Structure 1
C-alpha cells in the first residue's frame, strides 16, 4: 500500500496530518482520495475536513483515516507515480540558476510585487534573452518544475506566493500595490518576503467572514480582526 500526502507549499495543516499518520490535507491511498467530496474542483488552497459533528478541521480525524485505510485493499498492486524528491535539493521554491530560470523567476516575482499583476511575455523578454532563452522556453521549464503555473494560453496564472487571478486572499502593500495570494499562508509570507508593511484581507471559507491582519515589516503584532460577512 502507498499513502501519498499532497499539500500546497508551506501548508499549515501538513504537520497535523504528519502527527496523525506518517504521511497532509490531501491523502491518497493507492492513488485514491477517500475524502473527496463529489463535484469539488481542484484548488491550490488549504483544505477543510468535516468531523461527524459538523465541525471543520484542517486534516482528517484519526477515526476517518483508519476507516479509509481499512477500506483500501492493502494487498492490491499500486500503479502510483514515483514520489518527487523532497525539498528540490534544498532549494524549496528557488529556481535553479542554470538556463536563466532563477533570473526569470525573480523577474516574475518583482513584477508581481511592483504591479500586483502577472507579467506579460514582453515584460520578461529582455531577461530571458540575456540568458539565451525565449520567454516561452523559460516559463515552460519553470512550470514543469512547479515554480509557477501557466494557463491554457501559456500566460502566467500564478507564481508562488502570488496569484494572477482573484482569490480569497488580498495583500495591500505599504506602496499601495494590491496583490492576490495563492492561499492564506502565502498572504502572510508576502510582507516578510518583501520586507514591507502590509494589510492582509481574507475571506473565511466556512463562514464567509472577512478577516483582516496587519503586518509590520513582516511581523504580525495584531490579532486578526473579523469584520463580518462582506
Structure 2
C-alpha cells in the first residue's frame, strides 16, 4: 500500500499527520505492506496535479480518503474533524486506522481480481524489475528511458556503452532480457517492445507530459506509465468491439479520470496458455504473445462481456478504473526507481 503525505513547505501539521499515520499503520499490523512517501507542493498547478485539497493531504494508493468533492485542490491549510467534531490539523489516529483498514480490504479484493491468467503481464508474479547482474537492469532501464524521451528504442551504440562495463555485449544482454520477457526482440534482433512501450503502433496511444507520444502494449501498460515516469499521461484507445474511443488521464500519484465514465478494462489471456513460474531453467510466458492483445479498454461492462462471449478462447476478468490503475502501478511503478542505473 502506497501512502503519500502531500504538503506545502514547512507545514506545521505535516509531522503530526506522519506521526499519527505511523501509529495507525503499526496498530493495524500493516507495517510490511505500507510505504510512506512525502511530496512537497509549491504552486497551484502542483496542488491540482497531486490533488492536494489543503496541507497536509494523505493519499492512499493515489486517492484522498478524506476528500470533500466540494473543496478544490489548493495551497491552503487543511482542517479535519475528530470523532467529537473538533477541528484538528490532521486526521485522528482512529480515523486513519479506519481508512487504512478499508484500503486493505479493497487491496484484497483487487488482488483477487488481478490474480487472473493475465498475470503474465507481471511475469507470473516475478515482476518486471530486471536483475542487476550482468548489466540487465542497466540496459533495461536505458531502453525504457529512451522510449520515454524519444518514443523509440536507443541506438545500438548507446546500449553497447551501457553493457560494456558489465563485460557483456548489448546483443547478449538484450537476448537475456528477451528470454526472461522483460522486452521482446524481432527476428532481426531489434527491440519490438519494452513493456510498457511498444515500438510498433497499437490501439493504445499515450502522450507523456513534456515528452513524446508513445504506444503501449496494452491497457494496463498504458495506465502504469505515469507512476513509472513520474509524469502525467494522456491515453487514447478504442473499444475492440466497435472502435468507440476511450480516453484517460493518469497522474504519477495514481489519480485517474477517463471518458466515458462507464469504461472498464478487460484483462484477458489465451485460455490454452498457462503462465509458468519462472525458474533458472525456464522463462515466463511472453505477455506479448499470450495476453497483451487481450487487455483492452471497453466503453462499458456490457461491451466487454459481449466481446468476451464472442472470444471463448480468451479467459479474463473485468477491472474497474481503480483496480486497473492499481495493477498498472504495481507492475510498472518500480521499473525506474529500483536502484540506480549504473553509469557506463
Q: Do residues 121 (structure 1) and 156 (structure 2) align?
A: yes
Candidates 223, 247, 261, aligned match of 1:212 = 247
Candidates 201, 204, 214, aligned match of 1:179 = 214
Candidates 146, 155, 158, aligned match of 2:181 = 146
C-alpha separation in 1, matches of 2:136 and 2:203: 29
C-alpha separation in 1, matches of 2:230 and 2:132: 23
The answer to whether the Cα contact below 8 Å between 1:115 and 1:177 also exists between their aligned partners in 2 is: yes
Q: Do residues 112 (structure 1) and 115 (structure 2) align?
A: no
Partner-residue secondary structure (3-state), 1:106: helix
Name which structure has the greater RCO, CA cutoff 8 Å, separation 6+. Answer: 2
C-alpha separation in 2, matches of 1:25 and 1:125: 33
Candidates 201, 204, 207, aligned match of 1:166 = 201
Scaled by the length of structure 1, the TM-score of the pair is 0.59
Q: Do residues 15 (structure 1) and 53 (structure 2) align?
A: no
| Cα distance change on mapping 1:86 and 1:168 into 2, 3 Å | closer
User: How far did 1:122 drift?
Assistant: 2.0
**Rg comparison, structure with higher value:** 2
What residue in structure 2 maps to residue 200 of structure 1?
235
C-alpha separation in 1, matches of 2:235 and 2:223: 7
C-alpha separation in 1, matches of 2:205 and 2:253: 16
| Cα distance change on mapping 1:122 and 1:14 into 2, 3 Å | farther
What residue in structure 1 maps to residue 105 of structure 2?
none
Q: Do residues 130 (structure 1) and 130 (structure 2) align?
A: no
C-alpha separation in 2, matches of 1:196 and 1:218: 9
User: How far did 1:16 drift?
Assistant: 7.1
Candidates 78, 87, 90, aligned match of 2:125 = 87
Q: Which moved more, 1:145-154 or 1:203-212?
A: 203-212
| Cα distance change on mapping 1:14 and 1:209 into 2, 3 Å | farther
The answer to whether the Cα contact below 8 Å between 2:184 and 2:191 also exists between their aligned partners in 1 is: yes
User: How far did 1:96 drift?
Assistant: 0.9
User: How far did 1:217 drift?
Assistant: 3.1
The answer to whether the Cα contact below 8 Å between 2:192 and 2:200 also exists between their aligned partners in 1 is: yes
| Cα distance change on mapping 1:222 and 1:157 into 2, 3 Å | same
| Cα distance change on mapping 1:14 and 1:133 into 2, 3 Å | farther
| Cα distance change on mapping 1:17 and 1:102 into 2, 3 Å | closer
C-alpha separation in 1, matches of 2:231 and 2:168: 32
C-alpha separation in 2, matches of 1:184 and 1:177: 18
Structure 1 residue runs without a partner (length 5+): 1-11, 19-23, 27-43, 46-84
The answer to whether the Cα contact below 8 Å between 1:171 and 1:178 also exists between their aligned partners in 2 is: yes
Higher helix share: 2
